[in-house]
Chain A
């Protein structure tokens, strides 16, 4: 009796699930309604500007919803809502833009291709290369909000005191680190933990780990010289302690900044405002320089460590309003010049830089360097579904090894990176 009841229950449950699965399949091109209200998901930082814009444009009927933006949270919420047949947002801000690659895949297929519906002038207005990662199969699926181009932040008075010059090549960077460890032990050249290593050092060398131009293929070649030459710099500096294995916000690293023990760091353009200024607030100390160049050339390339994007839903019932809103938030100079991070839109960036160049915290006006670095983004960085694994694997191999045998650690990392890409459903090109 009991077991038969259970079996019946099981069959009923399976039936209900199968039915739910069938009804959940929504059509991809919903009927457009120019009067339909739109829902926008934003993170904390983007909430106030989004609400202000919505209030100033009541005709768009925008509803702003601040959501949890921790890694993977938004894409999994959208995936679950898609599966359950619940309402989806019309516009989403992704602060971890790699999630775009998950949103583009089954079972979600969320982003709307924007090329046809957006003014080409808007796309051309973004910093060179900044829409590259948004492009899959020749279609642009996101609008870059801000870019996190890497630069060298350096403590100018400390360089003068030590009699050092700011490196312009990575050979000089390595030499600086070796000299620093001997002459001034305890001083630091920043950290290479996770993305601060991969997205700054390796990306600026154009090491191909995430170069993806469509949702199922990626170019990944950890054995290329563009990757291994970075090991020759990072390995010795990890071993002598001038490069830290810690996250720059780790309570064990921050005291180095507070105590003035960080001579320089290769960091994204938001690091000054968010990471260094709060812990080293003295005016007139910090200046910026271009990320050093690799391979004996004077071609400077910047990695991107973060940078948010706006995504419009292909399932929106009012795509016109959704695109209008996403475009405004990413390119309106009024909104963007007040933003805390470097705007991807060039016209907005110029206005943003006026504010920064007047900031007495900097030892010299950083605007020329920041703007030049913004146009030198590495073309090898793409948004992929295995980014979290990549960072985990890098920390478990190269960072855990801490300069012991970086070539062996990198080889292990390379194998894991290939496995991660394949497990995520990519065909890997070399």
Chain B
């Protein structure tokens, strides 16, 4: 109640607050809220091959959940997430810790170098990695020898989780390293000193002091990465068109959505599956936020 009174007393401050977020709200409504509502509405309309469109609460969802491609795509994405997320977190945390532990004059340069691969993202990165993983043209060809299959190629349905995980770490880690490094430098030095006096070694300091203090940052990385990884689309799509006939056009769940919408012109099913994806990513985000007390300030509850 106090906050309401304060706001009432200071209408100008409230207007200022709104003006800060106004542009964001407009964009969020135009490109976030409206499409989601449109998808939810569309998900309840079934378009048969012949005959009129009709309303049904369940038909599209049932058809999507019964699709033989969905379990395959779900397993592909799960494999990818299981490899990528732990790998990403470990790489990001370890490199950020090393940068933090040994603050030399080269620190800024090292941070810059680790950030550079992140400059090439999305479809451009996928194209780049398509070359990296084509043994015939790859600049690191000899290193890839153990990965090459009997038919002389590397990129295939089954190798894709590993390839995407490597790509994802190479592209995504840099930005997170810079962010986590910033979080680590914000930890009061007296805390670390106290831990050291109590006999904690570097490893113990990292695990028991630093990690809990930057918990909410790790949670943020997890939420953003999970949502992005769960909806992986561009990378398998580009690698698939490049490595012709080696990657299924419905390798990931989001590609299945795309296939419904573009190949089959079945917007009802595309929307139904999108809505299911949204429910899963939002649920996961809520769980992570709750478990890590994400909104508590600086990780202190």
Smallest Cβ-Cβ distance to A251: which chain B residue: B136
Chain A residues in 8 Å Cβ range of B48: 106, 425
Whether B38 is near chain A, meaning CB under 8 Å from some CB there, is: yes
B107: interface (CB < 8 Å): no
Residues of chain B within 8 A (CB-CB) of A215 are 49-50
Q: Which residues of A contact B263 (CB under 8 A)?
A: 71-72, 75-76, 102, 385, 388
A105, B53: Cβ atoms closer than 8 Å: no
- Considering the complex, give the chain B residue whose CB is closest to the CB of A420: B68
Cα A11 to Cα B49 in complex, Å, equals 30
Q: Is the CB of B245 within 8 A of A250?
A: yes
Cβ–Cβ contact B262 & A73, under 8 A: yes
Residue B193 at the chain A interface, CB threshold 8 Å: no
Chain B 184-202 per-residue mask, 1 if CB under 8 angstroms from chain A, else 0: 0000000000000000000
Segment of B29-37, B110-118, B280-288 in the binding face: B29-37
* Smallest CB gap from A216: residue in B: B49
Interface residues of A in 274-289 (CB under 8 A from B): none
Closest-CB distance, A317 to chain B (whole angstroms): 23
Interface Cβ pair total, 8 Å cutoff? 116
Distance of A215 Cα from B135 Cα, bound (Å):
43
Q: Is the CB of A9 within 8 A of B151?
A: no
- Indicate if B261 sits at the interface (CB-CB under 8 A): yes
Partner of A249, one of B49, B244, B264: B244
A193/B245 contact (C-beta < 8 A), A71-B263, A215-B49, A388-B259 known: yes
A252→B135 contact, CB < 8 A: yes
Contact of A13 among B38, B53, B69, B137 (CB under 8 A): B38
**Contacting residues, chain B, for A150 (C-beta < 8 A):** none
Partner of A79, one of B134, B136, B265: B265
Q: How many angstroms from the CA of A255 to the CA of B135 in the assembled complex? A: 12
B residues near A246, Cβ cutoff 8 Å = 151-153, 245-246
A267 at the B interface (CB under 8 A): no
Residue interface bits B138-175, CB-to-A below 8 A is 1, else 0: 00000000000011110011100000000000000000
B11 interface residue (CB < 8 Å to A): no
If the complex has contacts A13-B34, A246-B153, are A107 and B47 also in contact, measured as CB distance less than 8 A? yes
A291 at the interface (CB under 8 A from B): no
CB pair A107–B49 under 8 Å, yes or no, is no
Quick check: is B51 within 8 A (CB to CB) of the other chain? yes
Quick check: is A62 within 8 A (CB to CB) of the other chain?
no
- Distance of A399 Cα from B50 Cα, bound (Å): 35
- In Å, the complex CA distance between A215 and B241 comes to 28
**B34, B69, B259, B264, most chain A CB atoms within 10 A:** B264
Q: Which residues of chain B come closer than 8 Å to A75, judged between CB atoms?
A: 262-263, 265
Given contacts A9-B33, A252-B136, A402-B150, contact A392 B262 (CB under 8 A): no
Tell me whether B152 and A388 are in contact (CB under 8 A).
no
Report chain B residues within 8 Å CB of A396: 72, 157, 248
Q: Does B82 contact A (CB under 8 A)?
A: no
B79: chain A residues at CB < 8 Å are none
User: By the criterion CB–CB under 8 Å, are A395 and B248 in contact?
Assistant: yes
In this complex, the member of B29, B243, B265 whose beta carbon has the largest number of chain A beta carbons within 10 angstroms is B265
Counting CB contacts under 8 A, is B75 at the interface?
Answer: no
Mark each residue of chain A from 6 to 29: 1 if its CB lies under 8 Å from any CB of chain B, else 0. Answer: 100110011001100000000000
Contact of A17 with B38 at beta-carbon distance under 8 Å, contacts A106-B53, A193-B245, A423-B67 already known? yes
- B267, CB-defined interface residue at 8 Å: yes
Interchain CA distance A253-B135 in the complex, whole Å: 12
A102-B265 CB under 8 A given contacts A215-B50, A419-B68, A425-B48? yes
User: Nearest CB to that of A20 among chain B residues?
Assistant: B38
Q: B68–A107 contact, CB under 8 A?
A: no
Contact of A102 among B63, B136, B264 (CB under 8 A): B264
| B225 partner residues in chain A, CB cutoff 8 A | none
Scan B68-101; emit 1 where CB is below 8 A from any A CB, else 0: 1100100000000000000000000000000000
**Given known contacts A396-B248, A400-B157, is B151 in contact with A245 (CB within 8 Å)?**
yes
Whether B152 pairs with A385 at a CB distance below 8 angstroms is no
Closest Cβ–Cβ distance, residue B69 to chain A (whole Å) = 7
B252 within 8 A of A: no
The residue from A6, A216, A252 contacting B50, defined by CB atoms under 8 A apart: A216
Residue numbers in B under 8 Å from A249 (CB-CB) = 244
Residues of A contacting B265 in the complex (Cβ-Cβ under 8 angstroms): 75-76, 79, 102, 105, 107-108
User: Are the CB atoms of A247 and B245 closer together than 8 Å?
Assistant: yes
Which of these, A79, A107, A252, A425, contacts B151 with CB under 8 Å?
A252
A sample of 16 more A-B contacts (CB under 8 A), given A107-B267, A246-B151, is A9-B29, A17-B37, A72-B259, A102-B265, A106-B50, A107-B265, A193-B245, A216-B49, A246-B245, A252-B152, A388-B263, A392-B248, A395-B245, A395-B246, A396-B157, A399-B245
**Chain A interface residues (CB < 8 Å from chain B):** 6, 9-10, 13-14, 17-18, 70-73, 75-76, 79, 83, 102, 105-108, 193-194, 215-216, 244-247, 249-253, 255, 385, 388-389, 391-392, 395-396, 399-400, 402, 416, 419-420, 423-426
Q: Can you list 12 residue pairs at the A/B interface with Cβ under 8 Å? A: A9-B29, A106-B49, A193-B245, A250-B243, A255-B136, A392-B249, A395-B246, A396-B157, A419-B68, A424-B264, A425-B48, A426-B49
Q: Which 4 A-B pairs have the closest CB atoms?
A: A76-B262, A252-B152, A247-B244, A425-B49
